Amino acid sequence: MKNKIFLAMLASISVFAVGCGSSNTTKELAAPSTEVSKDIPGWTVNNDPTDLSWYVNFSWFTTPWGNDIVSQKITEETGVNVNFIIPAGNEAEKLNTMIASDTLPDLLTLGWWEGQIPEMIDAGMIYALDELAELYDPYFFEVADEARLGWYTSQDGHVYQYPNSSYSPEDYEKYDNIASNQTFLVRKDMYEALGSPDMSTPEGFIDTLRKAKEMFPTVNNQPLIPLGLHEFNDAGNVSLDLFLQNFLAIPFEDEDGNLYDRMTDPEYVAWLKMFREATAEGLLANDVFIDARSQMEEKQAQGRYFAMLYQRTDMATQQQILFNNDPDSIYVAIDGPKNSSGDDHTLPGVGIQGWTVTLISKNCDDPERAIQFMSYFMSEHGQRMIKVGVEGEMYEMVNGQPVLHKEVQELLDSDRAAYDRKYGAEDTFWMMQDLPMQQQWTEASKEPFLQLEEWAAQYTIFNSQYDGLNPALGSAEEVIALKVSTLWGNTLPALLLAKDEAEFDAIFEKYVNDRDALGYDKLLAVQQELLEENKEKLGFK
Amino acid sequence: MSTVSKPAPKASFGERLKKQKYLQMMVWPGIIWMFIFNYIPMSGIIIAFKDYKITGTMWGAPWAGLSHFKEFLTDPSFMNIMQNTLGISLLKLCIAFPLPILFALLVNEVRSARYKKSIQTISYLPHFISWVVLGGLLITWLSDTGMINEVLVMTGILKEPIAFLADPKYFWWVAVISDTWKELGWSAIIYIAAISGIDQQMYEAAAIDGATKMQKIWHITLPAIKGTIAVMFILAVAGMLNSNFDQIFILNNVLNAEASEVIDTYVYKMGMRSGRYSYATAIGLFKSVVAMILLVIANFITKKLQGRSLF
C-alpha cells in the first residue's frame, strides 16, 4: 500500500513538474492585416485600440501611462494603450522569474549590459525586429539608424534589440556638446570659502577634505559628509573603481592592443591608498558605506556632502532643489583626481550601445502592432512627441523652434515629478529616446546644470569598444567574471578600512593572487576576443 | 483453551476510512495543501545537481553531478559564512532560548491577573512588527547620532557614540539582542501555556510542606514543563543553520559584511541577484541536510537524557 501511494505521488510530481518550464515553440507569424509599404508608417493605418504590456527593468521608473498629455496623445494616434510592468524590488529577481515562468510581457526595456538579453535571444523568446519589420512595417527601416542596427546585429544576422540614447562615433564628431555623466562635484559656497584649492593630486584632495570638515563641521546641524560616492554593492563601488580610473586617464589597452589591467595600475593604487587614509581619518563617513540611493538623494538635497564623485544626472533633481533654496549652495564640477603627469580626464560619454534596449517578446500576441509602435517612437514625429510634447497644448513653434507655454515651463523647472504626471514630455518616457535626433529641439541647458555639462563635455571621449566585454552567460568565464567582481566587491571596503598601509598592501596582494587563482587569465582572453569583435563592428583599426 | 474472546477482526482499509470519514475530511485539505506547496516544489531540488538555465526547463538541463556542492565547500567565503551562521545561532541558543523560559516563570509568579495579561500583551507586541519596518527603525536607532547612542552617552556609559551597524564586531550582538527582544514574549507563550496546565494541587501540597517560592519553581514548575523545553530545544538545534533572513538582510551593509554574511543571504545573493540558481539550490540543499542531521542528533540525545523526543 505504502509503495503504491509513494509511486502515485512520484507520478503526479513528474506530471506537475513537466507542466512547468518554458515552452519555446516557434510561432508562425500571421499575415499583415493591412498592405504594407516603406513609405507609410504602419501606425497611421493600423490604429484600433489595443493594449500592450511593457516591462521596464528599473524599479525607480514610476510614471504611469495615460495620465499625462503626451501618453494620452500617443494612445490616440497609435491606438496603443500601454500597461507598464515595473519591478517592485530587485530587478534581476523580477526579470528572472518572468523568464523562468515564461510570462514575459509584450515589450521589454532593460539595460543593454544585462546578461539575460543574449540568454532570452538564444532561447528563442524574442522576435527578430528585422523580420517583423519586413513583414509588418518596412517603415521601421526608414526610421532606424544604420549604425545602431549594425552594432546590434547578432551573429545570426538578425536584429533583436534597438537602443535608446545611442551615439555613434560620427555623432561625437558632429556634436561637441556630448557630455559624460561622470563628474567630480563640490559644493560651490564651501569650495569658494576654502579658496578654491586644487584637488587633482592625492595630497590636495585629502587636504581639502580635511579643511572642509574643519571649517564646516555641520550642515543644518547635521554632520557634514566630506565625500560622497555611489552606492557600494556586490561588485564594489563604481565611483571608486571605474570612475576613478577614468578620472586618472588609465588606459583600457596597452600600445599593442592588449587589454590593460586597470586595477593594478600604480597611479590608481596610489589614489586608493589616499582614500584609505581618508577613511581612517573619518573623512569617508559611515554614511557613505551604508546609504542606499534614496538616502543619498535626501542628503544631497540638504547639501550635506562637500564633494562627490557622482553621475551628474543622478542628482539633477536635488541640484534643482538646492538651486531654488540658495543658488550658492549648488554643486559645481571641478577637475578631480588626475594622474601624476596631470593628464586630462578620459570620461566616456554614452556610446553606440546607448543606455537601454527595447525588445519584443514572443509572448506578444500582436507583434504587428508592437513593431509599428516601436517605429512610431523611432520616427521624428514620435521623438518630437516625447521630447517637446503636443503642439498647441504644450508649446508653439516660433521661428522653427518650439517655445513652451509658460505654465509648462514653470512646472518643468520647479517640480519634475508633477510635470511628468501632467505633461509627460522631456523624455518622461525615455525608453526610446533618440538623443542625437532630439538635439534639434533641445535648448541649451540652463544653470544649475549648464556648468556641469560644459565641464564634462571637454573631457568626454567615445569608449564604446571597451563596454560590455561580458562572457556568454553560462560559460565558465562568466562564472569567473562573477567571482572576480564579487572578490573586488569584498576587497574594496576591506582596503578602505585597512588600519595602515601595510595591511592595505597585504589585502591588495591577496586580491591579485585570489583573482589569478580564480582563472583571471581565461576571462581576460575572452574579453580580448570580445574587444576585437567590438572594434571590428565599429570599423576601428 | 482460554475463554477470552477473540479480538474483533481487523477492519479493512476501506471500512476504516469510511468510519473516520469526518476526521478524514478534516485532515485531507491539510495534506493536499502540504503536498502541493511542500512536496511538489521539492522536485526542484534536482537542479542542485544540474546546470540549470532560466530559459530552459529543469528536466532538460545537463547534469552537473556534485560540482556545485564541491564549489561551495571550497568557496573562499565558505568559512566566513559558516562562522557567522553558526556564531549567531549559537548565541541565540544561549540567550534567546533560555530567556523566554525565565520570562514565562516570572510572568507566572505575577499575582494580579490583569497585570499579568498586560505584561504578556506588551511583551509579544514587537513580534507583530515586520522586520522590514523594525529594521528601518533599528538602523536609525543604532546609528552614531541615533537614540541608543544618545542615551548611552548621556548616561555616561559610553564616552563617544558608536555606530553599531558600521563595525563587524558588534553585528552578532545586535542581531541576537534585537531578535531576542522582538521574540521574547511570543516564544514565552508556549511555556506559559505549559505552566498553566500544571496541577495546582502540587503547589498546594508543596506549600503545606513548607516549600519556598524558589523551591516550587525548581521542583514543580520546571520538571513539569521539561517535555516542552526538550521539544523546543530539538527544534532550535535543527534550525541552527537558519538565520533570520529578513533581519540579517535588512541590517547588513558593506561595513559589517564580514560578520553578517550568512548562508541565507549568500543563497539570496547567488540565486536571486546573480541568477546562479543551481549553485544556490545546492547550498540550500546542503543546509537542509545538515539541519536534518542536527535534528536527529539532538533528538537522540534528548531521548537518552530525558526519555522524551520528537520522534
How close does chain B come to A499, measured CA to CA in Å?
13
Q: Is residue A348 within 8 Å of residue A250, measured between CB atoms? A: no
Task: Test A16 with B40 for CB contact under 8 angstroms.
Answer: yes
Asked if residue A15 has pLDDT above 70, the reply is: no
- Residue A9 pLDDT grade (very low, low, confident, very high; cuts 50, 70, 90): very low
Which residue type is seen at A235?
A
Cα–Cα nearest to B281, from B78, B67, B33: B67
Cα separation, B300 vs A312, in Å, equals 63
Which residue in chain B is spatially nearest to A292 when comparing CA positions? B253
Q: What are phi and psi of A106, to 5 degrees?
A: -65, -50
DSSP state string for A224-281: -EEEE-PPPBTTB-TIIIIIHHHHTT--SB-TTSPBP-GGG-HHHHHHHHHHHHHHHT
Q: At what angle do helices A520-538 and A501-517 cross, to 10 degrees?
A: 80
Cβ neighbours of A493 in B, within 8 Å: 254-255, 257
Looking at residue B102, its pLDDT comes to: 94
Query: Cβ-count burial of A416 within 10 angstroms (0-12 exposed, 13-18 middle, 19+ buried)?
Result: middle
Whether A473 shows a pLDDT value over 80: the answer reads no
| Identity of the residue in A17, A289, A514 whose CB atom sits nearest the CB atom of B254 | A289
Give the up-direction half-sphere exposure of residue A421: CA atoms within 13 A in the CB hemisphere.
7
Beta bridge partners of A333: A185
Predicted confidence at residue A40, as pLDDT, reads 86
User: Cβ contacts (< 8 Å) between B258 and chain A: which residues?
Assistant: 494
Gyration radius (Cα) of chain B, Å: 25
Written as one string, the DSSP assignment of A293-354 is: HHHHHHHHHTT-EEEEEEEGGGGHHHHHHHHHH-GGGSEEE------TT-PPP-EE---TT-
Percent of chain B with pLDDT over 90: 48
pLDDT at A24 over 70: no
With 90 as the cut, is the pLDDT of residue B20 above it? no
Q: What is the mean pLDDT of residues A79-96?
A: 90
| A 191-210 near B (Cβ less than 8 A) | none
Chain A CA closest to residue B252: A290
Best to test chain A binding among B13, B39, B55 (most A CBs inside 10 Å): B55
Per-residue confidence at A541, pLDDT binned at 50, 70, 90?
A: low
Given this model, what pLDDT does residue A90 score? 81
pLDDT over threshold 90, residue A242: yes
Task: Name chain A contacts of B43, Cβ cutoff 8 Å.
Answer: 13-14, 16-17
Of A27-36, A316-325, B254-263, minimum mean pLDDT range: A27-36
Q: Which helix (H) or strand (E) holds A418?
A: helix A416-422
> Average pLDDT for residues A22-42, to the nearest whole number?
72
Confidence of residue A8 (pLDDT cuts 50, 70, 90): very low
Whether residues A289 and B39 touch (CB distance < 8 A) is answered with no
* A119 closest CB neighbour out of B55, B254, B269: B55
Question: Chain A: residue nearest B62 by CA?
Answer: A474
User: Which candidate, B169, B172, B29, places its Cα nearest to that of B89?
Assistant: B172
- The number of C-beta contacts closer than 8 angstroms across A and B is 91
User: Using CA atoms, how far apart are residues A17 and A449, in angstroms rounded to an integer?
Assistant: 55
> Among candidates A448, A427, A449, A451, which has minimal Cα distance to A439?
A427
For the record, the C-alpha cell of B306 comes out as 530525558
Which 8-state DSSP code applies to residue A110? Answer: E
Q: Is B12 on the interface with A (CB under 8 A)?
A: no
The closest alpha carbon to A416, from A77, A60, A74, A88, belongs to A60
| Residue A117, SS3 per DSSP | helix
What confidence score (pLDDT) does residue A399 get?
84
Residues A379-414 pLDDT 10s: 999 999 999 999 999 999 888 888 899 999 999 888
Higher pLDDT, A31 or A76: A76
Nearest CA among A312, A53, A318, A55 for reference residue A184: A312
A361 shares contact with chain B (CB less than 8 Å): no
Least confident of A358-372, A458-472, A491-505: A458-472
Q: What's residue A192's pLDDT?
A: 95
Kindly determine whether residue B275 and residue A115, on different chains, have CB atoms separated by under 8 Å. yes
B 130-189 residues inside an 8 A Cβ radius of A: 139, 143-145, 163, 165-166
Residues in chain A closer than 8 A to B273 (CB atoms):
90, 92-93, 234
DSSP state, residue A30: P
Residue-wise pLDDT for B44-91, tens only, equals 899 999 988 887 788 888 898 899 999 999 888 899 999 999 999 999
pLDDT tens digits for range B104-155: 999 988 888 899 999 999 998 999 999 989 988 888 888 877 889 889 999 9
User: Smallest CA–CA separation between A232 and chain B, in Å?
Assistant: 7
Is pLDDT larger for residue B30 or for residue B244? B30
| Partner A contacted by B208 (CB < 8 A) | no
pLDDT-derived band at A4 (thresholds 50, 70, 90) equals very low
Residue A110 is predicted with a pLDDT of 95
Mean pLDDT of the residues in chain A: 89
CB burial string B238-267: b at 16+ within 10 A, e below? bbbbbbbeebbbbbbbbbbbbbbbbbbbbb
pLDDT score of A27? 60
Q: Burial of A61 by CB count in 10 Å (0-12 exposed, 13-18 middle, 19+ buried)?
A: middle
A28-32, A354-358, A529-533 — which is least confidently predicted?
A28-32
The whole-number pLDDT of residue A364 equals 93
Q: Name the band, by pLDDT with cuts 50, 70 and 90, for residue A5.
A: very low
CB distance B308 to B302 below 8 Å = yes
Question: Residue for cell digits 552567460?
Answer: A473
Q: What share of chain A is helix, strand, coil (3-state, %, to 5)?
A: 50, 15, 40
Chain segment A131-185, per-residue pLDDT in tens: 999 999 999 999 999 989 999 998 899 999 999 999 988 888 888 888 999 999 9
Q: Using a CB–CB cutoff of 8 Å, tell me whether A120 touches chain B.
A: yes
Q: What is the DSSP string of B72-137?
A: HHT-TTHHHHHHHHHHHHHHHHHHTTHHHHHHHHHHHH---HHHHHHHHHHHHGGGGS-HHHHHHH
What pLDDT does A357 receive?
96
pLDDT, one tens digit per residue, over B299-310 is 898 888 877 777
The answer to whether the CB atoms of A290 and B39 lie below 8 A apart is no
How would residue A537 be classed by pLDDT, with cut points 50, 70 and 90?
A: confident
pLDDT score of B7 more than 70: no
CB contact A9 to B (< 8 Å): yes
Confidence of residue B1 (pLDDT cuts 50, 70, 90): very low
Note whether A421 and A371 are within 8 A (CB).
no
Exposed/middle/buried for residue B124 (C-beta within 10 Å: 0-12, 13-18, 19+): middle
Percent of chain B with pLDDT over 70: 97
Option in A20, A90, A514 nearest B272 (CB): A90
3-state secondary structure of B30: helix
Helix or strand holding residue A184 (H, E): strand A182-187
How many CA within 13 A on the CB side of residue A29?
A: 18
Per-residue confidence at B272, pLDDT binned at 50, 70, 90?
A: confident
DSSP string, B137-190: HHHHHHSTTSHHHHHHHHTTS-SS---GGGSHHHHHHHHHHHHHHHHHHHHHHH
Q: What is the pLDDT of residue B19?
A: 87
> Is A125 in contact with A22 (CB distance < 8 Å)?
yes
Angle (CA) B263 B267 B268, round 5° = 120
